[in-house]
A and B are shown apart, each in its own frame.
Chain A
Amino acid sequence: MTDILKQKMRSLKGGKAVDYYQLLDIPRVANPEDIEYRYHELAKKYHPDRSKSPDAHEKFIKIKEAYETLKNPPKKKVYDACLPPEEKAVEASSEPEDFEGFSSEPEDFEGFSSDSDAPSPDSSISPGPDQPVSGPKGAFKSTGISYVSFKSDRESYPSGPASFSKDTGETGKPERSKYVLSEKSLNRHDRSKEVSYGSGQNGSGQNCSGQNGSGQNSADWSYVKVKYEGIDEDIDDDAGKKSGFSAGFALRKAFRYTVVLICIFLVLTIVSPDLVGAKASGLGAVTETFDKVVLLAKSLV
């Protein structure tokens, strides 16, 4: 249990979480043999004994952390439960509604959404409306955009503290204190940290896997707020990756707008088919219809 907790501590610290599978470049369904093989390959490449690169130390530490989590079944279970959904496309059938499944698979817990490569919490949580939109098509590919999290529109969250709950998207100023595990006893004892581990671990380890709901009192997760204030200095090396992150967000936003538009279109089709034009087919017809929709909207206003 302590191990699980420690792993959680590490992942959650400062709201940073890495997609270990992407880090090791393995599919999430990889078996232990594959994980080990991959780790060995990467160790030979990035261990400071092998690599003269100045960031070999950092790189190896990350790879090692990923492997140590994924090789240990209980840790892996907890980690997997907290993991954001995979940024992979599912094959689309003709019904547009099916696209919904893409962002809300049943096992898709909304875990921590950022990672150490995209650490700036504010940019990740509340993207401004001015974010570049690169078209819905891109949203179905994960190419080039790493570690992007998806936010679900669903109401039902496994309400563990490890989740970024959805209101963060609306407020834009997330309540950090919920997300990061701290040592409860900090507020009560000032002695050994071991003691605090012991006292904090009961619910929190399970919380993430959704067994314990929100039974956690906020004291356990209380230090994060402070942590975030201090974290800015140590993310300079990651700053360059922010743009990729925002782009990912824009994609998602664009996707959502598209879905909304389609819905409006469908409703209109049902309510007043003549307005839409039953014979409409092809792109021209669609734009024409769109114009009509806009006109209708204007007249309504």
Chain B
Amino acid sequence: MAQVRSKVLGIDLGTTNSCTAIIELGEPKVITNSEGKRLIPSVVGFSKKNELLVGDLAKRQIISNPENSVQSIKRYMGKPDYRVPLNKEHYTPHGISAMILQKLKADAEKYLGDAVGKAVITVPAYFNDSQRFATKKAGEMAGLDVLRVINEPTAAALAYGLRDGVEDQKILVYDLGGGTFDVSILKIKHGVFEVLATCGDTELGGDDFDQKIVDYLLSEFKEAEGTDLSENVEALQRIKEAAERCKIDMSSLTTANVDLPYISENKRLDMEISREQFEAMTEDLVNKTISIMEKSLKDAGLSPQDIDEVILVGGSTRIPAVAKRVEDFMGKTPLRNINPDEVVAMGAAVQAGILGNEYLKSSGNQQVDGGNLVLLDVTSLTLGFETVGDTTAFIIPRNTTIPTRNSKVFTTHYDNQEVVRGKILQGEEQEASKNVALGTIILENIPPSLKGVPRIEVTFDIDANGIINATARDLATGNMRSVTIERPAGLND
């Protein structure tokens, strides 16, 4: 008997906006929150009366109360030493995210009339291990059992793949969100969603487009009025908001107006920006996304013609220049009838359905159970091991389907070396210190011998959850050392 409604939420925890969905009657449905909205701004603040505000309420008070408001916290996820001063306290980025998740959970419970305790949360595909860990931690702090942290573009593909007539297709998901950019290429066949390649930039998103407008407005204002507003917190916040609105306006208008009276003392900021101007200032950002797209196609061993469908995800893909450039590069009109803000949350709900073996409506309108679908995701960053001379020995290359395992044999570099110590590294750099260190493997008690004689096998294993397990083994003595990734203390608060 098919369950009417799943018990697991799919949550898109975005940089600017968040969204929640759940499987109902075999299909992912976006949850409308208590204020009648389907998206809530990822903003947290404290009112002057010391009340916790999340979402629209928090966003509304940013201008009047900027010191007690936090936005775009996702950009700091996984940074162990980053703390947000808020309401005389210092919060971790995942602590702030937990507040957003708590709000989403409460809204969902109100909508469903029932308690929910489980969730699948999405992250940018290019998030590293600590960023993923921090996201999971945030979910736990919000009282959610996080069944899986999945990649945003992959989630979008899952939601798309349940549509009618999608079979044996190669799709490219271009996901330009508020703060991050991802490209994923997938093959959908026989109900298997196989990620072929993933690439991205965790510091490229709609915020950067806004910043270009802000910079422009600031410099123009300085030139015209001789006043530098970049130190004026309140003015800056107003300009930021105006810039975002201006960017959104330019998606439908060719010229947008920014009018901010009394921006500084009795001066007024009143300017017009044309779409051409905007496109000229943001060209380098768009170019960056195109070259990342190119790289992912190369990684997948495909050319633009091999792609059957291009899917645009994330609010920033509404920028006409972005859609146009993608279309030109791919030689194909991206799919229009997909909601770029909601598709990720819907995909997260689908993955929740697969994990819970729920009934899902698939192509041809058949009720299929989740058993007919599986997502084969990849590890988006290369895993390596630190060796002598600050070099990285790559062990699991990026774009390897997970779960996976691989090992390499290492040896000592001086005579009678008793201990081998090396960092577990995530990243593509040949220089070890440029990659992110996830932990350290120390293997002791190596029997004394000439350098180059001992054989130490280092094995990395990644499970379906993306959790990394590292083992070092002395092949001569059989001595073994297992390391699960240690998290920086800052992530455990």
Contact = CB atoms under 8 A, between A and B. Distances in A.
Interface of A: 10, 13, 36-37, 40-41, 43-44, 47-50, 57, 60-61, 64, 68, 182-183, 186-188, 190-194, 223, 226-227, 229-230, 232-233
Contacts of A192: 387, 389, 391-393, 430
B256 to A, nearest CB: 46
B374 A49 contact: yes
Given A61-B404, A191-B387, A193-B408, A43 B376 contact: yes
B192 A44 contact: yes
Nearest to B394: A194
Nearest to B192: A40
Contacts of A43: 192, 374, 376
21 contacts: A37-B190, A40-B189, A44-B191, A44-B192, A47-B376, A48-B463, A49-B375, A50-B374, A57-B463, A182-B409, A186-B409, A186-B411, A190-B387, A190-B452, A191-B387, A191-B391, A192-B389, A193-B408, A226-B475, A227-B457, A229-B478
A296 to B, nearest CB: 55
Contacts of A188: 452
Interface residues of B, number: 44
A41 B354 contact: no
Nearest to A47: B374
Interface in B395-411: 401, 403-411
B473 interface: yes
Given A57-B463, A191-B388, A193-B410, A230 B190 contact: no
A38 B180 CA distance: 36
Given A49-B355, A183-B409, A57 B475 contact: no
B366 interface: no
Nearest to B463: A57
B474 interface: yes
A11 B373 CA distance: 30
A193 B387 contact: yes
Given A227-B457, A230-B478, 14 more contacts: A40-B191, A44-B191, A44-B371, A50-B371, A50-B374, A190-B411, A192-B387, A193-B394, A194-B393, A223-B409, A223-B475, A226-B475, A232-B478, A233-B478
B192 A229 contact: no
B435 interface: no
B332 interface: no
Contacts of A194: 393-394
A49 B452 contact: no
Contacts of B387: 190-193
A64 B374 contact: no
B393 to A, nearest CB: 4
Nearest to A223: B455
B6 interface: no
Contacts of A226: 455, 475-476
A229 B455 CA distance: 11
B464 interface: yes
A230 B410 CA distance: 15
B463 A190 contact: no
Given A64-B401, A187-B452, A190-B451, A47 B464 contact: yes
Most A Cβ at <10 Å: residue of B189, B375, B411: B411
A138 B246 CA distance: 80
Given A57-B403, A186-B455, A40 B389 contact: no
A40 B188 CA distance: 10
B191 A227 contact: no
Contacts of B473: 230
A17 to B, nearest CB: 16
Contacts, number: 100
B229 to A, nearest CB: 50
A156 B180 CA distance: 60
B390 to A, nearest CB: 10
Contacts of B403: 48, 57, 60-61, 64
B317 interface: no
A68 B189 CA distance: 16
Contacts of A230: 457, 473-478
Contacts of B409: 182-183, 186, 223
B264 interface: no
Contacts of A223: 409, 455, 475
Contacts of B163: none
B397 to A, nearest CB: 9
Nearest to A64: B401
Nearest to B189: A40
A229 B190 contact: no
Nearest to A60: B403
A227 B455 contact: yes
A226 B371 CA distance: 44
B367 interface: no
B138 to A, nearest CB: 22
Given A40-B192, A44-B374, A57 B455 contact: no
A229 B463 CA distance: 28
Nearest to B404: A61
B435 to A, nearest CB: 14
Contacts of B372: 44
Contacts of B430: 192
A31 to B, nearest CB: 15
Nearest to B454: A226
Contacts of B190: 37, 40-41, 44
B475 A227 contact: yes
Nearest to A68: B401
A227 B464 CA distance: 28
B355 to A, nearest CB: 6
Nearest to A41: B190
Contacts of A229: 475-476, 478
Contacts of B452: 186-188, 190
B198 interface: no
Contacts of B463: 48, 57
Contacts of B394: 193-194
A64 B473 CA distance: 24
A44 B369 CA distance: 12
A13 B412 CA distance: 20
A183 B407 CA distance: 12
B222 interface: no
A192 B431 CA distance: 10
Given A186-B411, A186-B452, A229-B476, A193 B393 contact: yes
A60 B401 CA distance: 10
Given A61-B403, A188-B452, A49 B464 contact: yes
A48 B189 CA distance: 19
B410 to A, nearest CB: 7
